[in-house]
Structure 1
Amino acid sequence: MRLGLPSRADDRIKRRSKLPEWIAAASSGDVDAQLALAWEYARGDAVDPDFVTALSWFDRAASSGQERGVLHRARFLQLRGVPEGVRELRKFAAKGDWKAQFWLGTHYQSQHGRLSQLRAAVWYGRSFKSGNLGGKLAKLAQLRRIARQPFRTVFAAKVTIEAISTFLQMFRQDQQIEALGVLMYRLKSRTP
């Protein structure tokens, strides 16, 4: 039995068909469209990869003054190995941005050395404290990777327990949102 999920090729075709729409919106100053185009050119999945074009769209999004544009530009530069990107991510992470904290964690995780691995765990933990539910799981998984052999099973058990509790927490939030939706519907139907 096959699930009704779109395939990667279907998704690529859908994104490719949206390119003219994104280009028009991005040219008129829409930051979301600029970021979507920039990531498409950076990824090279729906279009041919072109890092110069990607950087120009990231620069346009960053020059809009919105933090989201600057943050994504920093992530792109960090992924390309430009030190300025890591510095910018650190600034956002210090302000408490959970995406920047998580991305710094992935950056340090890709580095060699025990200190970098420990920094990754710290940034994943800060990401969780700033609102990213996956940050705690990433932190525990990172600690499991760098732990000595006798402690690996302890961290694996903690990761499993945390994954279950995170799933339950997300499920409870969905139930609360659904209950609030029903309540709002009832209140709206009572008002004249």
Structure 2
Amino acid sequence: MKSVWITAGALAAAMAMTPACAQAQTQDNPVEQGVKAWQSGDYKGAVDRWRGPAVAGDADAQFNLGQAYKLGRGVTADLNQAEDWYRRAAVQGHVQAQDNYGLTLFQNGKRTQAVEWLKRSSSRGEPRAQFVLGTMYFNGDGIDRDWVRAYALIVRSSQSGLPQASAALAQMDRYISLQDRQQGLTLARRYEEEQGRPQPPVQFADNTPPKPQPKPQTKPDAKPRPAQVAIADKPVVKPAPPKPAPPKPAVVRDGGWKVQVGAFGDPGNARKLWGQLAGRFPGRQVYYVKAGNLTRVLVGPYASRAEASGACASVKPCVPVGP
């Protein structure tokens, strides 16, 4: 059975994407004093200020100590110590600590214990947790193997911009059947709907009418959330993508390859989808192919698998179909 493995480098890169420390809101609070020391490069001074409140039960200070031990700043790097301090803050409801606790349990080889916390983080839309949990489902690593659920989680993580998830998705595409990928994409859409996102993935192999999306509502927090201060490298700001150039006429070669962009029980829905996507496939034609009770929406022709895969780059879901 094929497996997709998370290398130490990939996991470390994913976990390092959001290193932040929690800051108290009163100027004379030792937690904030520690944050200021950290920002000035006095890591040991920061740790010394956080340790007392952490031992006394302050969740922000506990989380910050976990970060210090994970990064090895002000103290010797120690994932076991990081795990312990994350745990203390996590059980008090500290969301960032819960996210890092599940990831650190996984990194420390405690797969079964990690599952509960990774599921919590994944349900909140945390892409690192979705990446790790999806890979566990694919490999049957600490949890029962479930390729449909694995594909759904990795798709969601990849769509959040996590590059490690996109690389894992490319590996999974080589082993997971088209039917399981269709079901995984449908499940990913359902996850997005349950989370209340305004733009879930495009409907695929699903015959039920889309549910109306609830309008976002703003609810005041019972208590103001503490500000978050980055304690590692500054976040990378991605430049805006350049405007696409007008498409140039190209010679269409037929190598027997097409791409599938949907499958519907109602043929009218298949035609409606093509009406929305036709502009993304200049020079190609649509094929409505019956497959049992479904009408598959195929677009082509393409000369090769590589050309078909390239056509899928800007459309999700989209699956190359060979001759």
- TM-score scaled by length of structure 1: 0.52
Identity of aligned residues (%): 22
Distance 1:55 1:140 in 2: 27
* Alpha-carbon distance in 2 for matches of 1:14, 1:26: 18
SS in structure 1 of the partner of residue 161 of structure 2: helix
Unaligned runs of 5+ in 1: 1-9, 163-192
- The AA in structure 2 aligned to 1:84 is Q
Contact 1:55/1:73, CA 8 A, preserved across alignment: yes
| Higher Rg of the two aligned structures | 2
Aligned to 2:125: 98
Residues 18 and 90 of structure 1, relative CA distance in 2, 3 Å threshold:
same
Structure 1 residue 77 displacement after superposition: 0.9
Query: Any stretches of 5+ residues in structure 2 without a counterpart?
Result: 1-37, 175-303, 316-323
Higher strand share: 2
Could you tell me how far apart the structure 1 residues matched to 2:74 and 2:65 are?
A: 10
The 2-side partners of 1:36 and 1:145 are apart by: 36
Q: Which amino acid aligns with 1:89?
A: L
Output the CA distance in 2 between the equivalents of 1:116 and 1:152.
Answer: 28
What do the CA deviations read for 1:70-109 (whole angstroms, capped 9, x no partner)? 333222112212111123212443xx2111x532323544
Aligned residues: 144
Aligned pair 1:37/2:65, yes or no? yes
Q: Give the letter aligned to residue 122 of structure 1.
A: A
Report deviation, 1:34: 1.3
In the other structure, the counterpart of 1:87 is: 116
Residue 6 of structure 2: aligned partner: none
Counterparts in 2 of 1:156 and 1:63: CA distance versus 1, 3 Å: same
> 1:136-173 deviations in whole A, cap 9, x for unaligned?
x665443333445x6566556755x58xxxxxxxxxxx
Q: CA deviation at 1:61?
A: 0.6
Equivalent residues of 2:135, 2:154 under 8 A apart: no
* Superposed displacement of residue 30, structure 1: 3.3
Residue 123 of structure 1 is aligned with which of 137, 149, 153?
A: 153
Contact 2:133 2:150 in 1 (8 A): yes
After TM superposition, the structure 1 stretch with the greater mean CA deviation from structure 2, 14-23 or 103-112, is: 103-112
Shift of 1:13: 4.3
Map Cα deviations across residues 15-45 of structure 1 (whole Å, 9 max, x no partner). 3442223324434443233112113213435
Structure 1 residues 158 and 28: CA distance shift in structure 2, 3 A: farther
- Report the Cα distance in structure 2 between the residues aligned to 1:65 and 1:41, rounded to whole angstroms: 20
Q: What corresponds to 1:77 in structure 2?
A: 105
Give the alignment of 1:11-50 within 5 angstroms: 13-50=41-78
Answer whether contact 1:41 1:53 (CA < 8 A) is retained. Answer: yes
Correspondence for 2:91 among 63, 68, 73: 63
TM-score normalised by L of structure 2? 0.34
Say which SS state the counterpart of residue 98 (structure 1) adopts. coil
Higher normalized helix content (fraction of residues): 1
Rounded to whole Å, the distance in 2 between the matches of 1:103 and 1:46 is 27
Query: What's the C-alpha RMSD, in Å, of the aligned pairs?
Result: 4.1
